[in-house]
Structure 1
Amino acid sequence: MGEKAEAIKVLYCGVCGVPPEYCEFGSDFEKCKPWLIQNAPNTYPQLIKDVKDADKVSDQLQSTSISDAATSTSKKEEVKRLPGGKIKKKDKQEIIIEKVTRNKRKSITTVKGLELFGIKLSDASKKLGKKFATGASVVKGPTEKEQIDVQGDIAYDIVDFLTETWPDVPETAIFFIEDGKKVAAA
């Protein structure tokens, strides 16, 4: 009989769990880079060159003045990196209220952005449902962020209710969407 074939040992990335050749196609490539440089340097030789260049740049940046460093750290706090290296700015703390009409008579009021003020959406939906004697639920909106849908047109009273119930919410942070334009509630 023939000899048994020896099993092939495959190296998997310690960060994302795929073979190193596929790390660049994943969403966590920036996190994978240090692991790849240490454990699979032959897979991405350009990473080693980029690290050496980055070290030179970081040495130059450290020699700049302290005031420049302070301003750059505040800018880094505002910026968030998305998959693919795109940069996303921090969400502004604002509540957006929009009335959506369906079936020509019925309407739904959506409230977005309450979680930015530290408010639990489930608690807020219960309070809104009780106050306006209607159905209210937490749903995922079109942008995959959670929002509160309240049955009926409650846009006229909701600003006062939000500012009275949660004092941390300033009236200047509440906006309405009217005819596709953002309008301040105050």
Structure 2
Amino acid sequence: MAEKPQPVRVLYCGVCGLPAEYCEFGPDFERCKPWLRQHAPDLYPDLLREATEKEADKAADQLQAVGISGEGGGGGEASSGAALAPKQEEVKRLPGGKIKKKEKQEVVIEKIVRNKRKCVTVVKGLDLFGIKLSDASKKLGKKFATGASVVKGPTDKEQIDVQGDIAYDIVEFITDTWPDVPETAIFFIEDGKKVAAA
């Protein structure tokens, strides 16, 4: 009689919960790397090589810093140079190696016409100023006596949709209600171009 096949044992990542061989496609591969180096070195041999190269670079930097600081005059320069190097590595990288840019703090207001008569005013970017969008939509709806709701936009970022054409009245309301939002940070989208409100 043939042997009964044994079930496959799958190693799951202790950080993201995916099978270890799929971590590189997961949400945060950088956080998984230390766990994978320790528990699954055979799956990612490049990680071990990368870790040993980083350790060698760190040791060389430390030796160089000690050598320069021993000369007397250049100690301050070496320590500041060594302090700047790790800061450059803290840049957030997206999958594919692209660098994630910090979002500008700006509020963008756009009027969308539907069915040639009805308008919807879209407000994006209030959350970048620390404003809770659900509270902001309630205040906007109350002030302009209309419907206002928080929805996900085309880029999966939350925005406020306000029924009606209130684009130019809304600037004064935003600056009065939330003093943290300067008028110079408010822009309109007109004919596909961004125009300053101020």
Q: TM-score, normalised by structure 2?
A: 0.82
Pairing 1:87–2:110 present: no
Q: CA deviation at 1:27?
A: 2.8
**Which amino acid in 1 is paired with 2:191?**
D
CA distance in 1, matches of 2:46, 2:81: 33
Q: Counterparts in 2 of 1:96-135, with a 5 A limit?
A: 96-135=108-147
Pairing 1:180–2:192 present: yes
8 Å Cα contact 1:100/1:109 also seen in 2: yes
Q: CA deviation at 1:86?
A: 2.7
Q: CA RMSD in A?
A: 2.4
Q: 1:71 to 1:118 in 2, by over 3 A?
A: farther
Q: 1:60 to 1:180 in 2, by over 3 A?
A: farther
Identity level (%): 71
**Greater Rg, structure 1 or structure 2?**
2
8 Å Cα contact 1:28/1:83 also seen in 2: no
Q: CA deviation at 1:133?
A: 1.2
8 Å Cα contact 2:184/2:196 also seen in 1: yes
Q: Which runs of 5+ in 2 are unaligned?
A: 66-77
CA distance in 1, matches of 2:61, 2:18: 35
Q: 1:130 to 1:69 in 2, by over 3 A?
A: same
Considering fraction of residues, name the structure with more strand. Answer: 1
CA distance in 1, matches of 2:12, 2:126: 41
Q: Aligned residue for 1:157?
A: 169
Number of residue pairs aligned between Structure 1 and Structure 2 = 184
CA distance in 2, matches of 1:71, 1:168: 34
Q: CA deviation at 1:20?
A: 2.1
**Which amino acid in 1 is paired with 2:118?**
K
Q: TM-score, normalised by structure 1?
A: 0.86
8 Å Cα contact 1:10/1:19 also seen in 2: yes
Q: Aligned residue for 1:55?
A: 55
Q: Counterparts in 2 of 1:13-28, with a 5 A limit?
A: 13-28=13-28
CA distance in 1, matches of 2:124, 2:89: 26
SS of the equivalent of 1:88 reads: coil
CA distance in 1, matches of 2:47, 2:186: 46
8 Å Cα contact 1:80/1:90 also seen in 2: no
8 Å Cα contact 2:61/2:82 also seen in 1: no
Q: Which runs of 5+ in 1 are unaligned?
A: none
Deviations 1:43-95 (A, max 9, x none): 1112111111122333455644405634863x666x43334443211111110
